[in-house]
Amino acid sequence: MNPIFIQPPQVAWASGALSEGPLLRKSTRIQDLAGIFVDEQARQKMPDDLIVYDVEMLATSPAEGELYTGVTHLYPGKIGHEYFMTRGHFHNRREQGEVYFGLRGSGLLLLQNEQGEARLERVFAGSVHIIPGFTAHRLINTGDDVLSALAVWPAVAGHDYAALANGFSLRVIEENQSVQVKEAKNG
Ligand SMILES: [Fe+2]
């Protein structure tokens, strides 16, 4: 027998770079994040086309039961005093969970249930995050370097951004050169 060894896709753990597979890429810029940060005026003063985060994912089957794999690269920065963060979402299919693996940088994963109760997990190279169903999730970069995290989630999960129209109940800001967590005033 002459076996054929298939070359699988690869992730470079130190950088989060994916290779060897057809990739889908999406960049999210300052102009895409209206109303997400508490200081909207500060956001408007920043360059529209500045990238806040990039997502790369393997172009794999969307069928029921399949899994998607992707990496988020969240750049360091702040809008006003608030650290750069992803938009955050519930899954359309609320019961579907997800796993994040921290690859590089340092930050926080903000988790919030449908009752609005929030908690924060530290993200760092090697951290593993079990995101249960019915839980919205957002990455926040509190460090000086790129925060990269690998994610695996059910292909049928989908994204529901509208359900978070009032935002998360916690905000993470820099105050006196340290990371501070505040209750959000506007929900
Ligand atoms: Fe998700």
Residue 1 located in a structural domain = no
Structural domains counted in the chain: 1
Domain of residue 39, residue span: 21-183
Mean pLDDT across the chain:
95
Residue 45 located in a structural domain = yes
Q: How far apart are CA 6 and CA 145, in angstroms?
A: 35
Q: Which of 59, 53, 144, 131 is nearest to 98 (CA)?
A: 131
Residue 9 located in a structural domain = no
Reported as a single tens digit per residue, the pLDDT across 49-82 is 999 999 999 999 999 999 999 999 999 999 999 9
Q: What's residue 186's pLDDT? A: 57
Reported as a single tens digit per residue, the pLDDT across 130-179 is 999 999 999 999 999 999 999 999 999 999 988 887 889 999 999 999 99
Q: Is 176 helix (H, G, I), strand (E, B) or coil?
A: coil
Q: What's residue 113's pLDDT? A: 96
CA 91 to ligand 1 center in whole angstroms: 6
Instruction: Please name the amino acid found at residue 162.
Output: A
Residue 14 located in a structural domain = no
Residue 61 located in a structural domain = yes
Residue 11 located in a structural domain = no
Residue 99 located in a structural domain = yes
Residue 62 located in a structural domain = yes
Q: What's residue 187's pLDDT? A: 44
CA 158 to ligand 1 center in whole angstroms: 8
Any idea what the CATH number is for the domain that residue 158 is in? 2.60.120.10
Residues with CB under 5 A from ligand 1 (ion): 98
pTM of the full predicted structure? 0.95
**How many percent of the chain have pLDDT more than 90?**
90
